[in-house]
Amino acid sequence: MAGQSGTGTSATRRLGILVIFLLATLALCGLWFSAEDVVQGSTVRIMYVHVPSIWTAYIAFGLTALCSGVYLSGKNRSLAWDRVAGASGEIGVLFVAVSLVTGSMWGRLTWGTYWVWDARLTSTAFLFITYVGYLAVRQLGGTHRQRARRSSVLALLAILEIPLVHFSVTLWRSLHQEATVANPNAKVELDGLMLFSLFLGLVAFTMLFAWLVLHRQRGMMLEDAFSDRGLDVAITARRNEAGA
């Protein structure tokens, strides 16, 4: 780490440039080149951000659970797994927030209301709150090991909770538009460029996620190192005081 300033490496810089290029292309395709929807008009363009962001959030929470599982089951219990889980959880919360905001903007234009109590919306809101809780638990303090153990168990609990909440909310009510692309029974009914923009969005957001996680987990590593170092410095200072 000596001599390095920031959390970037040549690999993340290349990834970052790729992400900028992909997002710029997505903006061009989504806002400019792709056609308006027959029914929804220009509001369909929100989907190029809305769908990729919730997709990325699912990947993020999946990664959080995976890394937490690896942390708990691994023999050496490397804190790196915990930091990736935490970084991924943070960025997942960010992307759920983006998808909730863009979704309610789309809903206002299409359904005429920011929010409806439909199953998928409601359980997404619960997903958001659950992981906000996860992030809060990470901030509880204690040693890095305590944080890692606590938050890993919680991440696995969340994975258990989410299907249950989703299932019960679905039983409660369901009105949400059926998935259009991921529906195995229906032929995909999207214009070529619209579909391309959507998939470009998925790729671009996934890459962006990877870039953010790489930087964030390095940032966390530095934070951990800083707090360890800070403790050592404080102890030395007290010792010197006692000795003097």
Partner 1 sequence: MTGAVINKRRIAIAVARKDLTIEWNSRILVNQVAPFAAIVMVLFAFALDNDGILLRVAPGLVWLATLFSMLVVVQRSFTVESADGALDALRVAGVDMGAIFVGKAVALMVQLFVLELMLVATAVVLYGVEMTLAGFCEAIVTLVVATIGLGSVGTLYGGLAAGARGRETLLPLLLLPAVAPVLIGATRATEAAFGSGGATVSEGWPWIGLLLVFAVLFSAVGTVAFGPLVDE
Site for partner 1, rule CB under 8 A: 72, 126, 129-130, 132-133, 136-137, 140-142, 146, 149-150, 152-154, 156-157, 160-161, 164-165, 167-169, 171-172
Nearest approach in angstroms of CB 164 to partner 1 is 5
Which residue lies nearer to partner 1 by CB, 67 or 213? 67
Q: Which amino acid is at 198?
A: L
Rounded to whole angstroms, how far apart are CA atoms 110 and 100?
A: 15
Which residue lies nearer to partner 1 by CB, 21 or 172? 172
DSSP codes, 75-129: SS--HHHHHHHHHHHHHHHHHHHHHHHHHHHHHHHHTSSS----HHHHHHHHHHH
Nearest approach in angstroms of CB 145 to partner 1 is 10
Nearest approach in angstroms of CB 36 to partner 1 is 38
Which residue lies nearer to partner 1 by CB, 72 or 105? 72
Which residue lies nearer to partner 1 by CB, 21 or 117? 117
- 77 sits in the region (left: phi over 0; alpha: psi -120 to 50; else beta) called left
Which residue lies nearer to partner 1 by CB, 28 or 164? 164
Q: Which amino acid is at 143?
A: T
Judge whether 16 and 8 are in contact, CB under 8 Å: yes
Nearest approach in angstroms of CB 143 to partner 1 is 9
Judge whether 227 and 83 are in contact, CB under 8 Å: no
